[in-house]
Amino acid sequence: MRKQQSMTHLARLGAVATVLVLSACASPDQAPATADVAVSRNAVENAVSAGAAELAPAEITAAREKMVRANQALAARDYKMARELAIQAQADAKLAQSKAVSTKATTASTRLNDDLRVLREEVDRANNQ
């Protein structure tokens, strides 16, 4: 009886090991594709947080569209396409974020220059009195 339990236990372990090996071999691109989609999703969220929806709408729209397509490819188990689209979406999102940050910096710089101009004018006026 004990020998039969040992054999059953070994058979179960063998079956589990086989399933693990087959699942690992069946989709070697699944993990990288899933990770790339997650990273790209985060990049899109960061770009939106930086104001890309208002300041770089074309770029963030392109990133979002590619994310949708990447998720569709992931669901269809087309891991290569999902990965490619996720990488493109990430690049579009980073561009959108950079444009948004640049626009904000330019606006802040312009405001600062305007404030400095006004301050200089007030100092000049005070000195001329």
> Looking at the domain assignment, is residue 81 inside a domain?
yes
Secondary structure (3-state) at 77: coil
> Looking at the domain assignment, is residue 82 inside a domain?
yes
> Looking at the domain assignment, is residue 23 inside a domain?
no
The C-alpha atoms of residue 88 and residue 45 are separated, in whole angstroms, by 15
> Looking at the domain assignment, is residue 9 inside a domain?
no
Residue 109 is part of which domain span?
Answer: 28-128
pLDDT of amino acid 16: 41
Q: 């493109």: which residue's tokens?
A: 88
Residue 50 phi/psi, 5° resolution?
Answer: -80, -5
Over the chain (129 residues), the average pLDDT of each successive run of 10 is: 51 44 55 92 95 96 97 95 96 97 95 93 89
Quote the percentage of the chain above a pLDDT of 70. 78
> Looking at the domain assignment, is residue 17 inside a domain?
no
Domain tally, the chain: 1
pLDDT of amino acid 57: 96
pLDDT of amino acid 28: 63
pLDDT of amino acid 91: 97
